[in-house]
A and B are shown apart, each in its own frame.
Chain A
Amino acid sequence: MLDAFITLFQIDNLLFLFLGTALGIVVGAIPGLTASMLIALTLPLTFHMDSVNAITLLIGQYVGGISGGLITAILLRMPGTPASIVTTFDGYPMAQNGQPERALALGIMASVVGGIISWLFLAGMSPTLAKFALQFGPWEYFALVMMALVMLASLTQGSLVKGLMAAALGMAFALPGIDNSIGRARLTFDMDALLSGFGLLPVLIGAFAISQILRESAAPIKASTPINLPKKKLPVQFKDLKTFGPNMLRSSVIGTWIGLLPGIGANIAALVSYTTTRQLSRSPEKFGTGHEPGVVAGETANNASIGGALIPLITMGIPGSVTEAILIGALTIHSLQPGPLLFQNAPEVAYGIIAAYLVANIIMLFLMWNAVRYIAAISQVPRAWLLSTILVFCVVGSYAVNNNFTDVWVMIAFGVIGLGLELARVPLGPFVIGFVLSPIAEEQLRGSLMMSDGNVAEILARPYAMSFLFVALLTLLWPLIMGQVARRRHHTRQEPNS
């Protein structure tokens, strides 16, 4: 391990890591471009690099990409990456309430803490955790995703019916495409373009970025205000670290742990930790209106999930996400087969990944901390510049995912749908999250049923799956329980309980 750090501190590796992280942040921040796209597109460039150089570059991009997403999520309500969807819930209201820097700084702090805590798990207990994660089969995946879906319902603000309808609509839009459980097309209405379904990226950029841009361009033009950077100290202090300590610790554990499970990913990690934090909070009603713990929970967990996802990757060669599948591709190009043998065959690469992950987090902190004021100034750039540029990026980005114009049209369509939903006050968060979650839930449930020959009762023999369902039930009943508790407290004690 020490050797790995020493290797890492060679100038070229550090340079690549720095470059990768910086690139990742910028790309992650731009709506329409994501970390996995960046990594896919830079993969060919790594062909001629030394394998450690290549890995440091890609890890940097991975960490930077997930972290950068918070910038536009907070400032413009356009999540730069899917993992930052929940950051829009509280981050954007904070920025609107005149605290963009505070929101950014909290998000950055949370990201770094999440990264470092999950690194401890990665460096310290990889083999144990990997074995644990392996036990999770289709039943457990199904139960976990169901739990997230139920939490989603408790997340909706405003009209509950509309929130639920948004989720159902999102799920319905996830249906078209090849049904993995029969290998045939479903609801494609004989259109080839629908065979691969609606891509996550076009849907996300459409629903958030395009609809937001259209709305903003319809708003009256304000004369551009001069950009003045506040000279005061950064609005996050050491005491914040203490205030949010329990929150960050919990969110890191949730993030790492969900990241461990291949195929679940950072989006769900952020969502689960956000809801958990909200449920445990004394003032859940403040969430969604610019409440600081909300930003912290989501951003801690999505960064922590990277560390978690790297665990099955390096111990077993099982990628946790699309991004990591590409990382594995990068290894095989260098004739390195990921898996348990990697530590024997190429320890400098295996430990290099672990070391690079930590250093990338620190570089990310350094870069974003120093740039936070300038980043906050983005929201003051005249709209004409910002919107026209972002539009071009959205088009190019959604095209570049698969070199396919269908994705661009899908993005436009979801822009219009998003605008319509907002107009009817149907929340977009549940819509997009329903879209992400339901295919996993369905496939896993049907996989479980295949495996058990149609016997639903088999889930009873699965303790982890049952415990997720229990938590889901608890989430549903939580408001009732809390109501009871509060009432009883009110009765027994006279003085208000702070």
Chain B
Amino acid sequence: MRLHPAWVDLALVLAVLAGAGLLFVGASTLPPPRFEPMGSAALPRILGGLLVFFALIIAIKAIWQLRGRTDSNVVSDETDDTTSRPSAANSALESDTEESALTGQLRGICVFTCLILYIVALDILQWSFIPVTAAFVTIVGTALSPQRLQALWKFALFGLVLAAGLYLVMTRFLYVDLG
């Protein structure tokens, strides 16, 4: 069910190559050096070149791994990163709750969508800060709680207090204009 890391690497390679392409395109429109010999375009080009170089190395490694996969299922040399991949994967294995990884991912997507909607409401719709924030905290808090119904009103109250408190301090004392 889990993707082979080499595929993830290949996706990374594609994204990085696209980014490097952007760098080259952007650099091509820059004026020639004016005050010093380097100019604005030098660093984007250097970085673009480096990114392509690194991406190719990773791509070659990944393809090599995918080919060799038929021989053994062991994920080869890159099982190193214990520190930068904390709890998420490990605790999924340890956890004795019955929920599947899929529900977890759904919840993650739900939180992310809420976050986007929250900012859309504040920025584009320019809705009032307090109710929007309270609603946001309520939804996210509830989604992350084990016992949903009990959590709902707790988070509604908490969200309201948090939003009102922040609003008061920000606008009254600190002159930040919220929404």
Residues of A that sit less than 8 Å from B by CB: 41-42, 44-45, 77, 89, 92-93, 96, 157-159, 161-162, 164-165, 168-169, 171-172, 175, 179, 181-182, 184, 186-187, 189, 210, 213-224, 288-289, 382-385, 387-389, 391-392, 395-396, 399-400, 403, 405, 408-409, 412, 420-428, 438, 442, 445-446, 449-450, 454
Contacts and interface: CB of A to CB of B under 8 A. Distances in A.
A220 B37 contact: no
Contact of A384 (B34, B54, B95, B151): B151
A391 B11 CA distance: 28
Interface string B49-62: 01100110110010
A402 B144 CA distance: 31
B162 A427 contact: no
Interface of B: 5, 8-9, 11-12, 15-16, 19-20, 22-23, 26-27, 30-31, 34-38, 40, 43-44, 47-48, 50-51, 54-55, 57-58, 61, 78, 80-88, 91-92, 95, 97, 99, 103-105, 107-109, 111-112, 115-116, 118-119, 122-123, 133, 136-137, 140-146, 151, 155, 158-159, 162-163, 166, 170, 173-178
B97 A187 contact: no
Given A168-B54, A179-B40, A450-B36, A427 B84 contact: yes
A399 B9 CA distance: 34
Contacts of B119: 395, 405, 408-409, 412
A218 B108 contact: yes
Nearest to A172: B47
Contacts of B91: 219-220, 222
Contacts of B159: 388
Contact of A187 (B16, B23, B61, B105): B23
B48 to A, nearest CB: 8
Contacts of A425: 5, 8, 78, 81, 84-85
Contacts of A384: 140-145, 151, 155
What DSSP secondary structure best describes chain B's contact surface? helix
Given A181-B40, A423-B8, A446-B38, 19 more contacts: A44-B175, A45-B173, A157-B83, A165-B55, A169-B16, A175-B43, A175-B44, A186-B40, A213-B111, A214-B108, A220-B92, A222-B97, A395-B119, A396-B178, A403-B177, A408-B123, A421-B12, A446-B36, A449-B38
A289 B82 contact: yes
Ranked nearest first, the 10 interchain pairs of A and B with the lowest CB-CB distance are A218-B108, A384-B144, A449-B36, A187-B26, A165-B54, A424-B12, A405-B123, A158-B80, A41-B174, A388-B140
